[in-house]
Structure 1
Amino acid sequence: MSNNSSMLQIEAVQTPAQMKRFIRVPAKVQANDPMFVPQLELERAEAFSPKHNPYFAHARTQFWIATRNGRDIGRISAQIDDLAPSYRDEQAGHFGLIVGEDDAVVFASLFATAEAWLRERGCKKIIGPFNLSVNEETGLLVDGFDVPPMLLMGHDPRYAGGRIEAQGYRKVRDLYAYIYDITQPPPKLLMRMINRQQGRYTVRPLDMKNYKRDINTITDIYNDAWAGNWGFVPYTPAEVDHLAKALKPLLDPQLVPIAEWDGKPVGFGVTLPNLNEAIHDLNGKLLPLGWAKLLWRLKVSGVKGGRVPLMGVRRSSAQSLGASVIPFLLVETMRKRALERGFRQIELSWILEDNKPMRGMIETVGAKIYKTYRVYEKAL
């Protein structure tokens, strides 16, 4: 692009210094949004590093920054994930990490750059946002702007959806985040259903002494439960190891129930404390006192919310009449144990709009949709 400093420039990220700037763009663009929570820069640097994130072993990626008059005012990524499904037999590339000032030229330039990169590599379609993978942050916030995001969920400006649609993108799927007031007891009928099957099931906490074994069990159930769902990409063994290490400091074994039916593990749920409550005023920095504040809030003062990012029941069990209580059993176990730890609400997210069985189950316990995230697509 032009060297004139008043003109918009799109800069490919190639150095550590540029990556630092790339990470800080959302905090600059959304500085005046009271609901925006700056992510921890150290965590983001690892997530975007091929050395640390095993996602890069099966994906090609490029990042760009939009600048004007020496200011960073937008960013985008383009990815080709070799494990992602090709949609209707078309080679599909992804975009992600999109943020920009409310300016048509910024969005047009960023998308033109990402689209050209994908087109040059043979992609016929672009889908996103994926930050970076469907197993990380997915979708653009299009409803629910008045509440801060939970752990590992995005928060976007109100204008972003319109700016993306103006580039020729259309909705391919909506994803829902449900909020569940766990101070309310579940319906009595539901408890009678669960109690009727007592004796056939047991629920145990994650066994930290056999952590690796249980993480592998959870992954196996997850990959079985979600196979066939739109956009599904199974976790690779390297990604499982990475996730297991990353989540270990946040995991409370009692909040990771594993359900066994007739002695075999068939379902699990994971509730994480809402880290965003503890980091909202750290401005993405853990130094000099960030670590101390974070540990105090998580371990001592406690947080009031949690998120269930992962849950699954083996398909063979989900289709069995008796074992159909297992999803309810898992949610009720997490509700009670989270309540004991001082939580008041948990987010169950994200759920595909057309996943009627899961949505029905969540709505039966009393959870309500409070945020909608959208995935877009465009032919190249």
Structure 2
Amino acid sequence: MTAQNEGPITIHAVKDKADKREFVELAYRLNRGDPAWVPPLKNEVYDLLTPGKNPWFEHGKANYFLARRGGRTVGRISAHIDFLALEQPASQGMGPGTGNWGLLEAEDGETAHALIAAAEDWLRGQGMTRALGPLSISVWDEPGLLIEGFETPPTIMLGHNSPLYRAWIEAEGYQPVKKLYNYAVEIVDGFPPIVNRIVAAGEKNDRIRIRRVDKSKFDAEAKLIMGILNDAWSDNWGFVPLTDGEIAHVGKKLKDIVFEDLIRVAEVDGEPVAFMIVLPNINEKLIEMDGSLFPFNWAKLLWWLRKPRSKRLRVPLMGVVKKLQNSRMASTLAFMMIEYIRRDGVARYGAEQGDIGWVLDDNQGMNAVAEAINATVNRVYQLYDKKL
């Protein structure tokens, strides 16, 4: 990212299709030289930004800005407000007066300064008194700025950014408010003996049933899992409930990369109380595609999805209902689901490593689970805030 001093920076709100195209395309131009950056599929980026395509806009609004210098686009940023987030308790990280920004890309610090100022001005104009970011766009999409772990490409649904951005953001007066960890764990040879003992004890408990999802009942299974998620995560920092529209959207988006043997639901006395979702790392294919399925990438991707081989698997979501959290039963269910999926991941997908995250830095339960299976932090994301 080399700054070209060709005149003053001007900020322009995205107003039409040409502006939106510049907004999307800029990320590919600025990051193309970074071997660890994985180009997202462009149609998914457009859907993220577009009301009617992204159900987040049913409870949120956003504005997008471009920075130009000498007729060139040199940066971008989004500013947005989630009305459901405004209704959450301030003690949980969101709350009244909190707006967000994200999707930052900039050629240099001067550009980043102008973009962040524009996002803050828009948020102030909407009555916000605090900025929390970066979020792209929802807390359920890609929260946080990568501050550790730049060396290797991220797995599916994890963000990546230039290491320069941290200093630029902190120079604007933003303070760290929350860290999110991603853990890596070697899975070929299994887990430590204590984990195996817990799993074996759980298998002897007639109250427990660990089952695969039934993809023939996909919509019902997605609704069940997201219902557990909304309960399990409701006290977490940054929580914003997923709406029925968002649950349906997530299900549709993930349906092609959901495999029955990589998702488990745990039942106790016949009641579904926990789940674990694992996804094959489609980024291993996307990194070759430069964001486009054409002309032949769609065929390559479809062929891979028929029977994916994935060295790394990612756990983006897991949860246990609140009434069981911090109990011995919760730990047993977690270790059983992890071990069952580990076995299938190694045997059927050629997996060698698992990624678990994001995990909040104060989530004692999940951090303890990660420690028990000898997982180590390989990526750290930082969320910042600032009074407006």
With the shorter chain as reference, the TM-score category is over 0.9
Distance (whole Å) between structure 1 residues aligned to residue 32 and residue 329 of structure 2: 51
- Aligned counterpart for 2:132 among listed residues 127, 134, 142: 127
Q: Given the alignment of the two structures, is residue 118 of structure 1 paired with residue 123 of structure 2, yes or no? A: yes
Judge conservation of contact 2:48–2:54 (CA < 8 Å) in 1.
yes
The aligned residue for residue 74 of structure 2 is 73
Give the 5 Å matches for 1:266-305.
Answer: 266-300=273-307, 302-305=309-312
Contact 2:326 2:365 in 1 (8 A): no
**2:90 alignment counterpart:** 87
Give 1:55 shift. 0.2
Distance 2:231 2:353 in 1: 28
Measure how far apart 1:5 and its partner are.
6.8
Assess if the C-alpha contact under 8 Å between 1:176 and 1:369 holds in 2.
Answer: yes
RMSD value, Cα: 1.6
SS of equivalent residue, structure 1 residue 375: strand
Aligned counterparts, 1:52-67, within 5 A: 52-67=53-68
**SS of 1:83 mapped into structure 2:** helix
Q: Is the 8 A contact 1:278 1:303 kept in 2?
A: no
CA offsets 1:43-71 (integer angstroms, 9 cap, x no match): 11111110110000101100111122232
Which of 352, 360, 380 aligns to 2:360? It is 352
Number of matched pairs? 376
CA displacement at 1:97 relative to structure 2: 0.5
Aligned to 1:239: 246
The code of the aligned residue for 2:139 comes to V
**1:55, 1:239 within 8 Å by CA — same for their partners in 2?**
yes
Separation in 2 of the partners of 1:73 and 1:298?
36
Task: Tell me, in whole angstroms, the C-alpha distance in 2 between the residues paired with 1:322 and 1:216.
Answer: 23
CA deviation profile, 1:125-162 (whole Å, cap 9, x unmatched):
00011100111110000000001111111111111000
1:189 aligned to which of 184, 191, 194: 194
Is the 1:141–1:372 contact (alpha carbons within 8 Å) kept by the matching residues of 2?
Answer: yes
State the partner residue of 2:9.
Answer: 8
Matched, 1:249 2:256: yes
* 2:380 corresponds to 1:377: no
Cα shift at 1:209: 2.1
Pick one of 341, 344, 362 that aligns with 1:334: 341
**2:90 partner SS:** coil
Tell me the CA shift for residue 113 of structure 1: 0.3
**Cα 1:301/1:80, change in 2 over 3 Å:** closer
Does the 8 A contact of 2:79 with 2:123 survive in 1? yes
Instruction: Check conservation: 1:28, 1:73, Cα contact below 8 A.
Output: no
Do the aligned residues in 2 keep the contact of 1:261 with 1:323 (CA within 8 Å)? Answer: no
**2:371, 2:76 → 1: CA distance?**
37
**1:265 and 2:268 correspond:** no
For 1:344 and 1:324, the matched residues in 2 are separated by: 24
Residue 97 of structure 1 aligns with which residue?
Answer: 103
For the residue of structure 1 that corresponds to 2:158, the secondary structure is coil
Between 1:368-377 and 1:331-340, the stretch displaced more is: 331-340
Residue 315 of structure 1 pairs with residue 322 of structure 2: yes
Moved more, 312-321 or 264-273: 312-321
Contact 1:182 1:345 survives alignment (8 Å): yes
More displaced, 335-344 or 111-120? Answer: 335-344
2:177 matched residue in structure 1: 172
What is the identity, as a one-letter code, of the residue corresponding to 1:326? Answer: L
Structure 2 gap segments, 5+ residues each: none
Look up the match of 1:20.
Answer: 21
* Amino acid corresponding to residue 364 of structure 1 in structure 2: A
Instruction: Show CA shifts across 1:276-307 (max 9, x none).
Output: 11110211111111101222334356222121
Unaligned runs of 5+ in 1: none
CA distance in 2 between counterparts of 1:293 and 1:21 reads: 27
TM-score, normalization by structure 2: 0.93
Question: Distance in 1 between the 2:117 and 2:330 partners?
Answer: 50
1:86 to partner: Cα distance: 5.5
Q: CA deviation at 1:190?
A: 1.6
**Matched residue type, 1:235:** L
Where 2:84 maps in the other structure, the secondary structure is coil
Q: Distance in 2 between matches of 1:46 and 1:54?
A: 10
Distance 2:70 2:306 in 1: 44
Aligned partner of 1:208 among 204, 215, 228: 215
TM-score by length of 1: 0.95
1:86/1:92 contact within 8 Å kept: no
Q: 2:178–2:384: 8 Å Cα contact kept in structure 1?
A: yes
SS of the aligned residue for 1:309 comes to strand
Q: Give the letter aligned to residue 71 of structure 1.
A: R
User: In 2, are the aligned partners of 1:297 and 1:303 still within 8 Å (CA)?
Assistant: no
What's the offset of the Cα at 1:108?
0.9
SS at match of 1:239: helix
In 2, the alpha carbon distance for the partners of 1:86 and 1:127 equals: 15
Alignment pair present for 1:140 and 2:145: yes
Equivalent residues of 1:203, 1:257 under 8 A apart: yes
1:248, distance to aligned residue in structure 2 (A)? 0.5
